Amino acid sequence: MVIKSFSIFQSLIVTILIPILIVTSVASFVINLPLLYSYGFERYEISDYTSIDPSELKSVGKQIRDYFNNDDEWITIQVTRNNIFFPNLFNNKEILHMKDVKQLINLVYFSQKISVVLIILATFYCVFFETNNRLKKLLYAVSRGGILTLIIFGSLAIASVVGFDKLFIYFHQISFNNDLWILDPRTDYLIAMFPQGFFFDTTMFIGFLIIFFAILCCIIPRMIARNFQ
């Protein structure tokens, strides 16, 4: 009875962990994707709007990605604009907001690591200490996790298409306990370089990848499980 209850609990945990793993892995990948930054700068003509050369914008993107992955508390964006060197392009409000953003991204990184470790432990337990039947149940738990991911983020994807403006505001209100994220593109380079259109495109890209990997999680584990008696 205890073993059966533990097996059910294990399957439930894995089902819940799969959406976390997919979302955090996709988010980590996209956050650190240089092509995404280059795409946004070019699509929204950021160089023309900010008078920052494309090569300097490329450097800005790299400095931001480096900040998300180093131990610095405060971001420093060094850039040359109109032949004038700026030791830090961002003002105090932007710097404080980026600290909040980094804390959120660190939470994403941490959640990804925890979900990976727990899923690996559950898999090892089934492989080395359980029967094929329980490993089969684990595979179906992964598949259910893929379905859960599709339901949750499929709904969010639809909501993003229909009302991204409201969803964008709700996300910031939930994620941050201050109004530092409310920036002015006329005075704040952070929002000038990353307009709302950039975040919409990024959200759609993230949504596509999440749904893609969720579908894989739905199908592949079930195909493997069929090989077990």
Q: What pLDDT band is residue 125 in, cutting at 50, 70 and 90? A: confident
Task: Answer yes or no: is pLDDT of 7 > 60.
Answer: no
What is the helix (H) or strand (E) element at residue 222, kind and residue range?
helix 196-225
pLDDT tens digits for range 177-191: 999 999 999 999 999
- Rounded Cα distance, 106 and 175, in Å: 13
Average pLDDT over residues 190-203: 95
**Mean pLDDT over the full length of the chain:** 90
Task: Answer yes or no: is pLDDT of 95 > 50.
Answer: yes
The predicted pLDDT at position 1 comes to: 46
Task: Answer yes or no: is pLDDT of 2 > 80.
Answer: no
Residue 111 region by backbone torsions, left for phi larger than 0, else alpha for psi between -120 and 50, else beta: alpha
The predicted pLDDT at position 229 comes to: 56
Confirm if 101 and 112 have CB atoms less than 8 A apart.
Answer: no
Where do the domains of the chain lie? 2-51+112-225
Confirm if 181 and 103 have CB atoms less than 8 A apart.
Answer: no
The predicted pLDDT at position 129 comes to: 66
The predicted pLDDT at position 10 comes to: 72
The predicted pLDDT at position 126 comes to: 73
Confirm if 111 and 190 have CB atoms less than 8 A apart.
Answer: no
How far is CA 19 from its chain centroid?
12
Q: Residue type at 81?
A: R
- Rounded Cα distance, 61 and 53, in Å: 13
pLDDT tens digits for range 37-58: 999 999 999 999 999 999 999 9
Q: What pLDDT band is residue 131 in, cutting at 50, 70 and 90? A: low
Q: What percent of the chain has pLDDT over 70?
A: 93
The torsion angles phi and psi of 80, rounded to 5 degrees, stand at -105, 125
Beta-sheet pairing, 79-81 with 84-86: antiparallel
The predicted pLDDT at position 134 comes to: 73
Task: Answer yes or no: is pLDDT of 5 > 90.
Answer: no
pLDDT tens digits for range 30-39: 999 999 999 9
> pTM for the whole thing?
0.89
